[in-house]
Amino acid sequence: MKSLLLFIVICLSPTFIFSQHNVQWRGDNRDGIYNETDLLKQWPAEGPELLWHFDGLGDGHASASVTTNIVYTSGTIEGIGFVVALNHEGQQLWKTIYGKEWIESWDGVRTTPLVDGNKLYFMSAYGVIYCLNKDNGEKVWEVDVINKYGGVNIKWGVTENLVIHNEKIFCTVGGPENNVIALNKNTGNLIWTNKGNSEISAYCSPTVINHNNKNILVTQTANSVLGFDVNTGDFLWSHTWTNKYSVHANTPLYHDGQIFIVSGYGKGGLMLKLSDDGKSVNEQWTNADINHKSGGFVLLNGRLYGAVDRGMDWHCIDWKTGQTLYSAKIFKSGNIISAEGLLYCYSEGGEVALVEPLENKFNLISKFRVPYGEKQHWAHLVINNKRLYVRHGSTLMVYSISK
């Protein structure tokens, strides 16, 4: 079925340090790297200790956003979306129903709540951005950016994990005039707008990078990788990058003056080099091996790790040359994060694995099967305070991975 999994949960990121009060998609820097220590280096045969699980989330693929006191995620029941706050024992603190959510294909909420200061933000599949008080769930503001700014929704619903820089929150509206916009995070009012290449959104969760002291918003639309000046909204550059379904759901990753992206359906990875002033890019290399549409990738010690879109192959690629160094059939493809130099892989077949990337091969250390939940295993893993958060559709499971 050609459209299988076309709904995207999104990924990946930069080496730019975000606010200490910002809890977001794929970790501190949106790159899948979790700065945790003293974690288990091997799991029991049945998996690490399951501390608690919370059921009743309905349909959805949102990950958890974990703060010192509260765990946030979102779900969908009978077409109605909600955000739920839990304490660290798995007890519900509050639940806010925000309204209509996606049930047209691959049912359920797509995006992970973003916590910044005393507020929480997320975007529905219908292009409505909501801002809530993170302590009690009360609505602060909402903006239907698609209708207000002449945007265009996409076949499987907008799938964008929002990003904040200082007072601005960014999103891709996908309209011919208002294509990419920045809103005031406190009021929802428009700060700047740019028509970009006037292409529809591509399920991409953007990132903010810092290149030679210049802050740049990097995202993808249907046929392009784009860069914008964060402060002014000026359109800096674009690079043509297409695939069969105009799906580019993985968050771009910035490192050492270069940007790496991955697109699914066999397209694979692209490395771009930024000019010193950040106003242009040049293609360095491509490699089609890592090509999962929404599972992300991680960069460790000059090497990129990730999976194919369909199948069982996981790959290691050299950052500088683009050469595939080695590959292995670990288990069915899926999403990937990392902590303490080890890989945490969550397959679409419902298994979670702890993998050691060696010089010339993968070492599969441990794995277990997720016991609860239903439907797709698409939500990305999260690590916080020596706990592993695993979402499977209607259920969020929390494991202790402390030594």
Report if residue 3 sits inside a domain: no
Name the domain count of the chain.
1
CATH classification of the domain holding 211: 2.130.10.10
pLDDT digits (tens, 9 = 90+) for 196-213: 999 999 999 999 999 999
The pair of structure tokens assigned to 30 is: 């949106």
Quick one: pLDDT at residue 276? 98
Contact by Cβ (8 Å): 19, 384: no
Amino acid symbol at 338 = S
What is the number of residues in the chain?
A: 403
Report if residue 6 sits inside a domain: no
Contact by Cβ (8 Å): 221, 172: yes
Report if residue 122 sits inside a domain: yes
CA 6 to chain centre: 15
Dist. CA 276–CA 266, nearest whole Å: 31
CA 65 to chain centre: 12
Dist. CA 176–CA 196, nearest whole Å: 8
Q: What phi, psi does 401 have (nearest 5°)?
A: -120, 25
Q: What phi, psi does 321 have (nearest 5°)?
A: -100, -25
pLDDT digits (tens, 9 = 90+) for 308-367: 999 999 999 999 999 999 999 999 999 999 999 999 999 999 999 999 999 999 999 999
Largest Cα–Cα distance of the chain, in whole Å?
Answer: 55
403 CB burial (10 A radius; 0-12, 13-18, 19+): exposed
Structural domain for 183, as ranges? 22-400
Report if residue 244 sits inside a domain: yes
Q: Which residues of the chain have pLDDT under 50?
A: 1-20
Report if residue 9 sits inside a domain: no
Report if residue 189 sits inside a domain: yes
Report if residue 13 sits inside a domain: no
Report if residue 200 sits inside a domain: yes
